[in-house]
Amino acid sequence: MRIHPSRAALAAMTRALGAPAAARRWVQGGPRPSRFWLALFALAGVALLSNPVAAGIFGDFGDAPNGALAYPAGGVIGHFPTCTGDAEGFVAHVTGHTEVHFGPSVDFETDGNAGVCAWPPYDKDECAGPPDAGLVRPDAYTIGSGGVVATCSGQSGRPLGMPCTTGSWAATGAVDIDVTNNWPTTMYVNVLMDWNQDGVWAGASPCGAAVTPEHVLVNWPVPSGYTGPLSALSPPSFLIGPNLGYVWARFTIGEVPLPVGWNGAHIFDLGETEDYLLRIGALGTDVPNGGPPRGRLELEPGIPNPFRSRSVFAFTMDRPAMVRLTVHDAAGRPVAHLSDGWQGAGRHQVAWNGMSDEGRALPAGTYFVKVALIK
């Protein structure tokens, strides 16, 4: 679904294009902004405008990879709506106002990723100036040379949390961001998280019997005159997605409510958008260079545990090797083989549905998971 620009934004674009006064008056006073496209042809006599950069308009844009590698471990290409030339749309805040923002100020650009709209470098905006980004927690990551993922600071980072656990906006919770609204009316914050790590923001992911939508926070109001952490406005908690590893997130504040299931594309008059690469996992399991510790094979607890229909196990290894991941009953007998083959260095995850190798449902009880290198 394409969301058209607001009337004020379209009027600014026509001025920048040098369209005739009649066209500008029609846009400013016309009955509905979507008729702007016809007006440009009939009155302005200029090309159809879909790119505010072509009109010389500066504003704030996103940073998430658009047509570039998003998740190095899986080779997944990101198709997040960031660049102004993208067919799926993009996000922009274009009128030049500075009253509504994350962190201490709005950072103006000419296109996504600080005007570059090409990757690498990644997070040219947020990682270039952490105080401006506004993110209080968790820590943001970036993708460096050779696809190595590391924190923007280069230090060990705080994760969002473990898969399928509750993410809280409380003062000491999983996530928080500083926000300012000095406009006379209420603004709205929306947050997206790519839980299934497929390179787009859409749908929801299963967590046992529950589901967790990728539109994590929907139209949370920020009243006029407010400056401070979003957590103080008591946004609702959410269920963290089912996969370990990294997820691209978009935080947006603007003047209009957005539809549930928003895909990240919209042209706003006011506000700001910040994109971050966040990590799902246990505290202290990453190192500054983004890889696992040398000489170690680590198995993380199953999530969820206990479970009804599905649990996800993750293990991290420092070098490529043959790996065997097995499930054993209380007597130590192997009942299911989850992985038995070559794996690359890094973090891997495997799901178990409670079935035996023969395809029968195993009875409720206590089971143990074992991971080992095959020599």
Mean pLDDT of the chain: 78
Higher pLDDT, 124 or 97: 97
Pick the CATH number of 297-373 from 3.90.226.10, 3.90.110.10, 2.60.40.4070, 3.30.56.10: 2.60.40.4070
Q: Is the Cβ–Cβ distance between 296 and 158 less than 8 Å?
A: no
Interacting residues of 156 by C-beta distance below 8 A, sequence separation 6+: 284, 286, 287, 288
Higher pLDDT, 337 or 191: 191
pLDDT (0 to 100) of residue 170: 83
Whether residue 321 has pLDDT greater than 60: yes
pLDDT-based confidence at residue 121 (cuts at 50, 70, 90): confident
pLDDT-based confidence at residue 53 (cuts at 50, 70, 90): very low
pLDDT-based confidence at residue 125 (cuts at 50, 70, 90): low
The 10s digit of each residue's pLDDT in 204-219 is: 998 878 899 999 999 9
Burial call 16-54: b when 16+ CB within 10 Å, e when fewer: ebebeeebbebbeebeebeebeebbeebbeeeebbbbbe
Whether residue 36 has pLDDT greater than 70: no
The DSSP string of 108-145 is -BSSTTTTT-SSSSP-TTTTT-HHHH-EEES--EEE-G
Q: Is the Cβ–Cβ distance between 293 and 113 less than 8 Å?
A: no
Mean pLDDT within 212-237:
97
Query: Cα–Cα distance between 323 and 149 in angstroms, integer?
Result: 23
Least confident among 121-135, 173-187, 223-237 = 121-135
Mean pLDDT within 232-241:
95
Phi, psi angle pair for 245, to nearest 5°: 110, -145
Other C-beta atoms within 10 Å of 146: how many? 7
The DSSP string of 163-228 is TTSEE--STTSS-EEEEEE-SSS-EEEEEEE-TT-SSS--SEEEETTEEEESEEEEEEEE-TTEEE
Least confident among 202-206, 223-227, 296-300, 309-313 = 296-300
Instruction: Please list the residue range(s) of the chain that carry CATH number 2.60.40.4070.
Output: 297-373
Tokens in use for 215? 């539109």
pLDDT (0 to 100) of residue 208: 78
Whether residue 12 has pLDDT greater than 70: no
Classify 267 as helix, strand or coil.
strand
Least confident among 23-37, 164-178, 226-240, 249-263 = 23-37
Whether the link from the prior residue into 292 is cis, omega within 30° of 0, is: no
Higher pLDDT, 86 or 42: 86
> Measuring CA to CA, which residue among 307, 306, 352 is closest to residue 327?
352
Whether residue 40 has pLDDT greater than 80: no
Query: Cα–Cα distance between 310 and 235 in angstroms, integer?
Result: 29
The 10s digit of each residue's pLDDT in 283-310 is: 655 433 334 334 467 788 788 888 888 8
Query: Cα–Cα distance between 220 and 179 in angstroms, integer?
Result: 12
pLDDT-based confidence at residue 19 (cuts at 50, 70, 90): very low
Whether residue 348 has pLDDT greater than 90: no
Query: Cα–Cα distance between 250 and 81 in angstroms, integer?
Result: 10
Mean pLDDT within 246-258:
96
- Look up the pTM and report it: 0.66
pLDDT (0 to 100) of residue 111: 78
Query: Cα–Cα distance between 110 and 153 in angstroms, integer?
Result: 26
